[in-house]
Amino acid sequence: MNTPRWKPSVTVAAVIEKDGRFLLVEEHTPEGLRLNNPAGHLDPGESPAEGCAREALEETTCRFEPKALVGIYLSRFQRPLGDSTVGEIEDVTYVRFAFCGDVGAPDPALSLDTGIVRTLWLSLDEIRASVDRHRSPLLLRCVEDYLAGKRYPLEVVVTDGTVWD
């Protein structure tokens, strides 16, 4: 039996809180303009914490230093495949590593990553009120887990040296 191997995409996300507000990005997606944590795909040659710091910088122009793991999440969604008129769907699964940590001020020498329209600082109530605009249900879940005090040492995510070799 030659069943295709299931390969979920690995993503990283930053849960950034300051004075009760959370730093989010508004971005263009295939589903339209959506809100998300600063997040993206893990690149070759980096640990999840390094990828999270890179993605946060690219999407917000703010340096982010992960201090703790908030959680590891698995999610799946389906959407129409391209301009398909025959009802084909794309089935996408993500494994998300969400980190919290320290953030610096925006760097005026940098520009937001392609597709990012702007950054916003939203309260929990504002995040809950905008669920229909979330790119992923994990946005709210990660914020709520952060507020529930979920924190795990960075050392629980081990990156073997072969990643950098």
**Is residue 162, in this structure, part of any structural domain at all?**
no
Cα atoms in the Cβ-side hemisphere of radius 13 Å centred on 15: 29
Q: Mean pLDDT in the chain?
A: 94
User: Cβ distance 127 to 65 under 8 Å?
Assistant: no
**Is residue 157, in this structure, part of any structural domain at all?**
no
**Is residue 124, in this structure, part of any structural domain at all?**
yes
Q: 121 lies in which domain range?
A: 9-152
Residues 6+ apart with CB under 8 A from 147: 124
- With a cut of 90, say whether residue 142 has pLDDT above it: yes
User: Cβ distance 13 to 37 under 8 Å?
Assistant: yes
**Is residue 159, in this structure, part of any structural domain at all?**
no
Q: What is the pLDDT of residues 12-65, one digit of tens each?
A: 999 999 999 999 999 999 889 999 999 999 999 999 999 999 999 999 999 999
**Is residue 83, in this structure, part of any structural domain at all?**
yes
User: Cβ distance 15 to 97 under 8 Å?
Assistant: no
Q: Count how many domains the chain has.
A: 1
User: CATH number of the domain that 51 lies in?
Assistant: 3.90.79.10
Q: State percent of the chain over pLDDT 70.
A: 97
DSSP label at residue 47: -
**Is residue 20, in this structure, part of any structural domain at all?**
yes
**Is residue 66, in this structure, part of any structural domain at all?**
yes
Which backbone phi and psi does 82 adopt, to 5 degrees?
50, -135
